[in-house]
Amino acid sequence: MATTKSKATTGDRLYFAALIQWAVFTVAVVLLPGPQSQGHAGSIPPLRTESEALSKALTRAFFSETKTGSLIAKELVRSKGNVSLDHLTTEDLSAVDRKVFSEFENEFEIARKNYSHLEQTGLIQLSARAFNQLQTLSRAFHPSLTRNHFSRWNTFGEKYVRSFEFIDLSDLLVMITKGKAEPWTRYDTDNLGSLLNRWVLATDPNLTLNDHPLNLFQIFSQNPRGQYRSHPIPAGGDIFVDGIGYYRVNQRQLSALKSNPYLVVESINDPSAGLSTETTFLARHHYPSVETFHRFEQKLSRPLAQELQTFESTRNFHDKESNDYKRLNRLILSELIEAALGGNPTLEYQRLISIHPFSDFNGRSMRVHFQKRTGAPLFLRNFDDDLFLGPTEFMAKVENGIFEWKTIITALEKEMTRNPGFPDFYRVPEPWLIAADLDPGKIENGDELMYRMFDFFKEPDIRELVRQKRDLEFSNRLRSYLAPFIKYRTKMPG
């Protein structure tokens, strides 16, 4: 009983702090000018008075830093201390979030009446104490997310900056242009919950498991007994010819696919090739399986190769549901993975992703493996490049990608330093310019280009190209869209 009373008391204090936070936030929302257009949609005009600036800074500091803590505090009060932090899940917080926002107006009225007598100096002092309490609570709730970066990033920024490690850049920017408050949820599924949490766990340097791809897959799939896939995986696309799905590639990409020692590739002429100046093809490929073993037979042990040769003459060779097929398929993948491990981390990653040993989470598992070996994330504007490029070109692309990732993180850190109260991460131009394959260091009109990119990603057909991973068409559309603007700007003096 003593423990319960202590929790309730702590919750009451935090709830008091949370009410202050909501009051400050609402005052800012009601009184301060919102986004207005000044040359570009979304430009924010300067604050009119010093009082507004102080209020807005205070609001931003609280609302971005301690939202999770305030939600937990309210839930603790509602439950009279019977909810432990250890038992709160992401799903619990989502439910709390809905309740809090539905009661927002009522809480504001209470806060306004109770704290209207406070002068700004008193409000700041109370806010500082509330901040410390909620910051401690936030650390207790998400130690893995806040352990290394809490002093540098706010809660949103911390999650946002890690999104660049595991979400394709175009997908991330689509989430931003859709106005999504949590872009790192792009690949979340109802049955598995937060992918960010699993990514943080898998990349944790203190994780006791080794970095073998199978162990990492078990983390992402949340199945500690997860195994290599027992079935084949054909990889097509959303361009259908005679009922068969293909993706579009150019000659260079097709050559890289066909030279991959693990893949069996099918290709046909592109029916719409005449619409582009570039020669293109439609292709699909098959990852390693029982039926494609001749492609990589020399990489298998002699006993397994001989067993597959014998199995090929049986009627079960094409029966994907037979126990022998499933067993042999897993043996193939196990041997290929063990043989592929080691050596240059970039080439190792390309081998592992070509084998594609799991039914899902291949990309994330292999990227974590790469990150653990190199200490830096594998950052690519288009992750199809891991198969669409030959080894030498892919190594150069990965090296450049690490530089691009560092450029983005550095820019976000600068925004955090410039505006520690409420950094406007979405208006940092570097992610947008890098998505356009432009060097931020050589672009003087980065803000203007960023707004054009924002408009580009809002187009429904562009979002559909991103969803379908049709990068060739996406890149051509983007290049055409930006070319007149870039040419115009480069002709300007200075």
Question: How far apart, in whole angstroms, are the C-alpha atoms of residue 220 and residue 225?
Answer: 12
Q: What are phi and psi of 470, to 5 degrees?
A: -90, 75
Per residue of the chain (494 residues), give pLDDT as tens.
Answer: 333 333 334 444 444 444 444 444 433 333 333 333 333 333 323 333 333 333 333 333 333 333 444 444 444 334 433 334 344 444 444 444 444 434 433 443 444 444 444 444 444 444 444 334 333 333 333 333 333 333 456 778 888 999 999 999 999 999 999 888 889 999 998 788 889 999 999 998 877 778 899 999 999 999 999 999 999 999 998 899 999 999 999 999 999 999 999 999 999 999 886 556 788 999 999 999 999 999 999 999 999 999 999 999 999 999 999 999 999 999 999 999 999 999 999 999 999 999 999 999 999 999 999 999 998 899 998 888 999 999 999 999 999 999 999 999 999 988 888 887 778 888 899 999 999 988 888 887 888 888 889 899 999 999 999 988 888 889 889 988 988 877 544 433 33
Give the model's pLDDT for residue 99.
47
For 9, what's the count of Cα atoms within 13 Å in the CB-facing half-sphere? 6
Question: How far apart, in whole angstroms, are the C-alpha atoms of residue 422 and residue 44?
Answer: 13
Ranges assigned E (strand) in 326-427: none
Cβ(390)–Cβ(256) below 8 Å: yes
- The residues that bridge with 250 in the sheet, in sequence order, are 280
Q: Which pair of tokens denotes residue 391?
A: 């080894």
Question: How far apart, in whole angstroms, are the C-alpha atoms of residue 18 and residue 153?
Answer: 21
Cβ(72)–Cβ(162) below 8 Å: no
Strand 234-235 relative to strand 239-241: parallel, antiparallel, unpaired? unpaired
Question: How far apart, in whole angstroms, are the C-alpha atoms of residue 337 and residue 362?
Answer: 12
The number of angstroms, rounded, from the C-alpha of 117 to the middle of its chain's C-alpha atoms is 44
Query: Strand, coil or helix: what is 483?
Result: helix
- Backbone φ/ψ region at 193: left (φ over 0), alpha (ψ -120 to 50), beta: left
Buried b (16+ CB within 10 A) or exposed e, 345-384: bbbbbbbbbbbbbbeebbbbbbbbbbbbeeebbbbbbbbb
Give the model's pLDDT for residue 59.
37
Question: How far apart, in whole angstroms, are the C-alpha atoms of residue 336 and residue 339?
Answer: 5
* Residue given tokens 């993706």 in the structure block: 247
Closest CA to 32 of 16, 50, 47, 54: 47
Q: What are phi and psi of 72, to 5 degrees?
A: -65, -40
> The whole model's pTM is what?
0.68
Cβ(260)–Cβ(254) below 8 Å: no
Question: How far apart, in whole angstroms, are the C-alpha atoms of residue 168 and residue 379?
Answer: 8
Query: Strand, coil or helix: what is 179?
Result: coil
- The residues that bridge with 286 in the sheet, in sequence order, are 234, 264
Q: What is the DSSP string of 437-480?
A: T--GGG-TTHHHHHHHHHHHHHSHHHHHHHHTT-HHHHHHHHHH
Give the model's pLDDT for residue 227.
95
The number of angstroms, rounded, from the C-alpha of 393 to the middle of its chain's C-alpha atoms is 25
Question: How far apart, in whole angstroms, are the C-alpha atoms of residue 255 and residue 249?
Answer: 10
Element (H, E) at 338: helix 323-340
Give the model's pLDDT for residue 274.
58
First to last CA, the chain: 73
Distances (CA, A) of 74 to 39, 101, 126, 154: 42, 12, 18, 20
Q: Which residues contact 452 (CB under 8 A, 6 or more apart)?
A: 481, 482, 485
Domains of the chain, by residue range, sit at 2-141, 167-186+379-494, 234-376
Indicate the DSSP class of residue 190: T
* Cα torsion angle, 424, 430, 436, 438, sign: positive
Cβ(281)–Cβ(248) below 8 Å: yes
Question: How far apart, in whole angstroms, are the C-alpha atoms of residue 478 and residue 488?
Answer: 16
- The residues that bridge with 345 in the sheet, in sequence order, are none
